[in-house]
Amino acid sequence: MKSLGERLAALRKEKALTQAEMARRLNMGQSTIAMYERNKRSPDAETLQKLADFFKVSVDFLLGRTDTPHPVVYEPQDEKQRKTTLLLQEPDVRTFLADPLFEDLFKRLSELTPREKAKLARYWNQALKDIEKERLRLRQCGVPDLPAGRNNDKEHT
């Protein structure tokens, strides 16, 4: 296993930097860099993080705790993907997506063109508005809302 000093020297050389150039960029003394590389001195926690950030590696890599320089972290590519990831972590959404009633529907959605998806979304939104109107009408007639999970697909007249 490589030491901190060996790893720092290797990373510096990968960037084609001299000790003097690295010291200048990090606002440190060249002798400090040399001492780190020869394992004659150890950086404090703040400096260690500064070095890790500079080389875009993890502190664990510098300390020899791992041989993977870059930690594997899933980061969504864009805002839309981030929102989707967060949405899929919601328990209600996961329950809904796992409902066998909708399973086939979701599989078939991927086969639709963007235009067909937009059309379906309009239908779905209209259906939800109609359902809400029906619920309001039933409440006004004194029919209580059915609790979640109950079979409420029977028509009330």
Q: Which residues fall within 8 angstroms of residue 14, CB to CB, at 6 or more apart?
A: none
Query: How much is the mean pLDDT over the chain?
Result: 84
d(CA 106, CA 92): 16
DSSP conformation letters of 88-152: HTSHHHHHHHH-HHHHHHHHHHTTS-HHHHHHHHHHHHHHHHHHHHHHHHHHHTTPPPPPTTS--
Q: What is the mean pLDDT of residues 136-150?
A: 75
**Could you read off the pLDDT of 103-115 as tens digits, one per residue?**
778 778 888 898 9
Cα torsion 58, 60, 64, 66: sign: negative
pLDDT surpasses 80 at 97:
no
CB-CB contact of 68 with 61 (8 Å): yes
Q: What is the pLDDT of residue 119?
A: 93
Q: What is the pLDDT of residue 74?
A: 55
pLDDT-derived band at 25, boundaries 50, 70, 90 = very high
pLDDT-derived band at 149, boundaries 50, 70, 90 = very low
Q: What is the mean pLDDT of residues 129-141?
A: 91
**Could you read off the pLDDT of 50-79 as tens digits, one per residue?**
999 999 998 989 998 888 777 655 555 677
Task: Give, in order, the Cα–Cα distances in Å from 105 to each of 50, 98, 145.
Answer: 50, 11, 26
Size of the chain in residues: 157
Cut 0.75: pTM above it: no
**Could you read off the pLDDT of 43-52 as tens digits, one per residue?**
999 999 999 9
Q: What is the mean pLDDT of residues 74-95?
A: 74
Q: What is the pLDDT of residue 157?
A: 43
pLDDT surpasses 90 at 127:
yes
Domain residue extents for the chain: 4-62, 75-111, 112-145
| The CATH homologous superfamily of the domain defined by 4-62 | lambda repressor-like DNA-binding domains (1.10.260.40)
